[in-house]
Amino acid sequence: MSPRKRLLLEEARNILRRKHYAYRTEKQYLYWIRRYIRFHNLTHPREMGKTELEAFLTHLAVVENVAASTRTRR
């Protein structure tokens, strides 16, 4: 794992912990962040925008049949 990606995941983890999210919720959020990054060939999320997010969500809905409630933004 590249240092840049590790920093992103550590930053996300720190934010989730500061907001007192449950450990299982933290694990799931980090899982989805990793999936998003891998889907876009390890591109950093700061370098992506709405188009990439829509492509990922469309892939989840059409190819992987992920339930809409899983894809809902909070």
**pLDDT at residue 60 greater than cutoff 70:** yes
pTM of the predicted model as reported, rounded to 2 decimal places: 0.79
Q: How many CB atoms lie within 10 A of CB 60?
A: 19
The answer to whether the CB of 39 falls within 8 A of the CB of 59 is: yes
User: Does residue 41 sit in helix, strand or coil?
Assistant: coil
The answer to whether the CB of 33 falls within 8 A of the CB of 11 is: no
pLDDT tens, 35-59? Answer: 999 999 999 999 999 999 999 999 9
Q: Can you give the pLDDT at residue 72?
A: 61
CA distances from 64 to 1, 48, 60 (A): 25, 22, 5
List the domains of the chain with CATH numbers.
3-71 (1.10.150.130)
